[in-house]
Amino acid sequence: MRKIDLFIRVQGPMAPGGSSRAEPSFNSWVLLLVVAACLLGPFDLLAQAAGPASPTSTSAGVATTASTATAPVSSQSTSTVSLLDPAALSLSVTSALKAAQSGASGGSHAGPPGELQFLSRIQRVGAPYPVKTDAGIERFLFPAILSASDEGGQDLVGGLIHVKPDTGKVLAWPSVDAQGEPLFLETESALRTRLTSQHASPAPPPESEPLYRPVPVTTAPATLPDVYLLRGWRRLPAKSQDPRLAWIDLVNRQGRYRTLLRYSPEEGLEPPRQSMSVAASLCADWWRARLGLPHRTYVNWLTGMRELGANPRELHVQYLFHGKPTIPMALLTDPVTGEGVPRVLAGFSQILTAPTTGLLPDPLEADSIADPMRFEIDASRYGMEGQFKPLELPPSGKKAAGKSPSPEEQALKQVRKALRDHGILLASVVSDDVEEAIALHGVAVIGVARVADVPSVLFPELRGDRGLDYPLQGMGRTRLMSVPISKLRDVHAFPHPLRLQMTRLAQGGRLLLSVSASSGRAIDLDALDVQLGGKQQDGVSLGGRTLSGLSASRVQRGRYLITVPDAAPADETARLTIAADAEYHRNPDGKPTVSSFLLSEIPDVP
């Protein structure tokens, strides 16, 4: 255990709310027009697909159907990986499906209940459909054929199994709704026609929006140079930022919203610009898990699927309800809803740390619907304290050229320390093309590393496949992304200082130190330092014992036994000063929690 300097003095608490960085200026109309033109510019085209034939094979009652998958071939796409032949792919998928189906009857499959229920209904898999990019075949989609038949006697497909082309590994099982029902039912021929049409439609790249270009982390994150990752980041709930085509069509036909949601292949499949609310919800999810609070559930308004954690739509509605700043609607609106686009990160940090309690309606919903959404907000909903801390990152760009260490190196060190001190960070990312552009995209930072030798922040982000089955997530798979640290505009931390309580176990010198978070969850310390003052002075660190009898030892999670010398209880001036340190639970200034207790005033254990 490392020793804490007890002579570090703790500064006063910071004022809640507010960003220490100036908001982007709107005085330059030229810049705004450039940004708007870029944001509304044309999208890249997805490469077209080609498909091999799949032979017939049978294994343990689950069969694969031989047929030829035809799709337009992109003459500029050549595979850069060594692909398995169709027979090997089919056998691999069949074997994985058999193993997964055993989970429905007490097997080892660890998927959610809805997924297990659906997998048990799959009778066989169809011929694979290839998904191609400029780099070659990215994956194959195997139709999951159910026993149900249409009026013409044809078997129906209830989803697509995503498979790696070089190993045959299943990337994702078909997506299902909260009741385990498929998101679509159609014949294999109709499905192929739809996939070919959607794959050839103009659409943005799978994990981007205009001017936002994250770099996927394709290697094991722990192997990246200079990497630091928060504990528990892999357990963050998956939250799709892309709509599901069938769901958008359904709510539009039902007239659920005041305006028709705009999301279709004909309109470019441009996702809503509500990433800040998604990032903010992930910050709440990480802290609720850290504090031992259970995840809530909600229905994703974009997909109709049930998800875990804080509801991003709930946060977005609060942002609009409180009149937080948005981009002028004459320049830019949300492409799906027509709402204003949030532009100030501090608005979401203020909502997380000081939510307005009560019932809040969704202003997008029509007055006539029978089951209107009401967001029930309470003070402890997001697991936050009543404050957030903006980070003062060094300026980068031309103004900082030639400085040593570089602003990027300084920022890397600063963000790493903030992660260690305060846990997950909420950040906004600026444009990749326009210097000092408005930062419209939000991310939940869970780590730092060098990606392609560039100091970068790491964050989880879930995107769909722009209509190709929807989505690659399966049921809860996210993708780790990165952006250069120089692209950060605002970064906010959420301090959660420790609570220290001291009680007397019995007459004499046996004391119990209880360490907890604001939620009451017991927190284990990384370091503990105890100093005895008064007529007799001494000091000890966790696990140690002095000649005078002062000692400190761990009893159980968040509980520490401290013994003082026999003469200390009789000394009216005797005082214990405790310095307690735990990663993610440091004070707003980044220092450990320090408390002082007069021995004569320590209460007995109830």
Helical (H) or strand (E) element with 195: helix 188-199
Q: What is the pLDDT of residue 477?
A: 41
Q: What is the pLDDT of residue 495?
A: 97
Residue 266 has pLDDT above 80, yes or no: no
Q: Are 246 and 184 in contact (CB under 8 A)?
A: yes
CB under 8 Å to 234, separation ≥6 — which residues?
none
Q: What pLDDT, in 10s, does the model give residues 79-127?
A: 345 677 878 888 999 999 988 887 644 444 445 556 777 888 899 999 8
Q: What are phi and psi of 131, to 5 degrees?
A: -105, 115
Q: Which of 148-152, 156-160, 441-445 has the highest mean pLDDT?
A: 441-445
Residue 11 has pLDDT above 90, yes or no: no
- What token pair was written down for 563? 């013994």
| Residue among 271, 392, 287, 265 at smallest CA distance from 341 | 271
- What token pair was written down for 187? 């014949």
Q: What pLDDT, in 10s, does the model give residues 20-62?
A: 333 333 333 333 433 443 333 332 222 222 333 333 333 334 4
Amino acid at 261: L
Q: What is the pLDDT of residue 434?
A: 53
Q: Are 161 and 142 in contact (CB under 8 A)?
A: yes
The more confident residue out of 384 and 473 is 384
Residue 10 has pLDDT above 60, yes or no: no
- For residue 234, the tally of other CB atoms under 10 A from its CB is 12
Q: What is the Cα 131 distance to its own chain's centre?
A: 26
Q: What is the pLDDT of residue 140?
A: 86
Distance, CA of 567 to CA of 386 (rounded, Å)? 42
| Residue among 286, 235, 250, 244 at smallest CA distance from 263 | 244
CB under 8 Å to 106, separation ≥6 — which residues?
none
Q: What is the pLDDT of residue 397?
A: 56
Distance, CA of 566 to CA of 221 (rounded, Å)? 52
**What is the gyration radius of the CA atoms in the chain, in angstroms?**
28
Count CA atoms closer than 13 A to 308's CA, side-chain side.
15
Residue 435 has pLDDT above 60, yes or no: no
SS3 for 364? coil
- What token pair was written down for 427? 């950040």
Q: What pLDDT, in 10s, does the model give residues 230-265?
A: 999 988 887 877 787 778 888 999 999 999 999 876
The pTM for the full model equals 0.73
Q: What pLDDT, in 10s, does the model give residues 411-428?
A: 999 999 999 999 999 999
Distance, CA of 411 to CA of 34 (rounded, Å)? 28
Question: Given the structure tokens 């950040």, which residue do they identify?
Answer: 427
Task: Give the rounded percent of residues in the chain with a pLDDT score beyond 70.
Answer: 74
| Residue among 445, 411, 391, 443 at smallest CA distance from 229 | 445
- Do β-strands 62-64 and 122-125 pair in parallel, antiparallel, or remain unpaired? parallel
The more confident residue out of 180 and 16 is 180
Confidence bin at 311 (pLDDT 50/70/90) = very high
Q: What pLDDT, in 10s, does the model give residues 354-396?
A: 998 889 999 999 988 888 889 999 888 999 998 999 999 988 6
> Which DSSP category does 162 fall into?
E
